[in-house]
Amino acid sequence: MKNLKFPAILIFLMTAFAFQCEDITPNEVTDCIDPSKIKKDAACYMIYAPVCGCDNKTYGNDCIAINAGVKSFTQGACK
């Protein structure tokens, strides 16, 4: 029975996250992300304080969202 525990958990997690994405029209993403503000090599603090970006993506904290070029976000994970 122990041999089936890990694969069962893995399958459950893969299924749980398979339906997390929502449909977003291209204009929503373009209006939401400012490509000139994207900083891939910027350093951020590693405190988990999730924010929901206008692109309906959850970012680990506001610093990560800002450096991803997100124009606006709200406190808390996306639903």
Q: Mapped to the 3 state alphabet, what secondary structure does the chain carry? A: CHHHHHHHHHHHHHHHHHCCCCCCCHHHHHHHECHHHCCCCCCCCCCCCCEEECCCCEECCHHHHHHCCECCEEECCCC
- pLDDT digits 0-9 by tens, 20-53: 444 545 555 569 999 999 999 999 999 999 999 9
Supply the pTM of this predicted model. 0.62
